[in-house]
Amino acid sequence: ESRASAAGIVQLLEMLRDTAAEHEEHFGRLDAVAGDGDHGQGMTYGTRGAAKAGSEAAAKGAGARTVLLHAGDAWAEEAGGTSGALWGAALTAAGSVFDDTRAVAAPEIVQALAAGIDAVVRLGGARPGDKTMVDAALPFRDVIAAEFASTGDLAGSVKKAAAAAQEAAKATADITSRLGRSRILGEKSLGTPDPGAHSFSVLMDALGNFLSS
């Protein structure tokens, strides 16, 4: 029921927090090549804030929708930075798919992931090939939709989509960035994947494992 769903969302947020902490140094190193080097810290602070706010909301009896709305606001606020604002908006948009009074079901989770990605595209305005997290998020969205439609297996679909995101994130090494801070350093980013695309694929891979455990 709805309380179990809120608790599940909190566990998921805590898993994202732990995953971001594990990868903090690497995210930061990628961002230091052509950006300002703070992507590891931004992801750590953002996910930590989201997990804390989500857990506090759930303790007060909030359902999945409200938990994610609070978590999204906290992510944006605690992370600072561009990716924090985009992840925060993604969580808020994902939460809007759920209903506080009903349990979270697999088809809604797929819809919520798509809604989150659409929010990132809407808010950030990045296009495919701009060397941003969108380059990993769009293949993720397409693969999860197709896989889930044909198999109905949520965890399996997330894993396949995360693998596609990982491959797409790797491929961003071959492009020069045009958006975000690293555009200033232009060619410097050539040969290094986009930090936000990489971190997106890492978190979605962890989500796939979380859902199948």
35 touching Mg ion, by CB under 5 A: yes
**Residue 36 binding Mg ion, by CB under 5 A:** yes
CA dist 113 and 58 (Å) reads 20
In which residue are the tokens 């052509």 written? 34
Closest CB to Mg ion among residues 63, 81: 81
**Contacting range for Mg ion; rule: CB under 5 A; set: 6-14, 27-35, 60-68, 101-109:** 27-35
CB of 17 to ligand ADP, least distance (A): 15
- Residue (62 or 126) nearer to ligand ADP, CB: 126
Please state the closest distance from residue 163 (CB atom) to ligand ADP, in A. Answer: 19
Question: Which residue number, 3 or 122, has a Cβ lying nearer to ligand ADP?
Answer: 122
**Among ligand ADP, Mg ion, none, partner that 49 touches (CB below 5 to 8 angstroms by kind):** none
State the minimum distance, in angstroms, from the CB of residue 87 to Mg ion: 13
Structure tokens at 81: 């930075």
44-83: which residues touch Mg ion (CB under 5 A)?
81
- Binders of Mg ion in range 81-140 (CB under 5 A): 81
Alpha carbons 156 and 130: distance in angstroms, whole number: 29
38 binds Mg ion (CB under 5 A): yes
Q: Do residues 204 and 140 make contact, with C-beta atoms less than 8 angstroms apart?
A: yes
Rounded to whole angstroms, how far apart are CA atoms 142 and 117?
11
Say which DSSP state 187 is in: G
Measured distance CA(34)–CA(90) in Å, rounded:
25
**Between 49 and 81, CB nearer to Mg ion:** 81
By the rule CB under 5 A, 31 interacts with Mg ion: yes
Exposure class string for 15-31: b at 16+ Cβ within 10 A, else e: bbbebbeebbeebbebb
Residue 168 Cα to chain centre, angstroms: 15
Please give the residue ranges that form the binding site for Mg ion (CB under 5 A): 31, 35-36, 38-39, 81
